Amino acid sequence: MRKKIVAGNWKMNKTFEEAQALVSEVVNMVKDEVNNDAQVVLCPSFPYLATVSKTIDGNQNVLLGAQNCHQNESGAYTGEVSAAMLQSVGVKYVILGHSERRQYFYEDDQVLEAKVKAALKQGLQPIFCIGESLEQREQDLTFSILETQLKEGLFHVSNEEFERVVIAYEPIWAIGTGKTASSQQAQEVHAFIREQIARHYDAEAAQNTTILYGGSCNPGNAAELFACPDIDGGLIGGASLKSRDFVDIIKSF
Residues designated as active site:
98, 170
Looking at residue 131, what DSSP letter applies?
Answer: -
How would you label 114-135 residue by residue, b for 16+ Cβ within 10 Å and e otherwise?
bbbebbbebebbbbbbbbbbee
With a CB cutoff of 8 Å and minimum separation 6, the contacts of 237 are 9, 11, 175, 176, 214, 216
In angstroms, the CA 168 to CA 36 distance is: 21
Give the DSSP letter of residue 61: T
User: Residues in the chain, how many?
Assistant: 253
E strand spans, 93-188: 93-96, 125-130, 166-169
- Taking the C-alpha atoms of residue 125 and residue 65, their distance in angstroms, rounded to an integer, is 9
Rounded-to-integer distance, Cα 219 and Cα 246, Å? 8
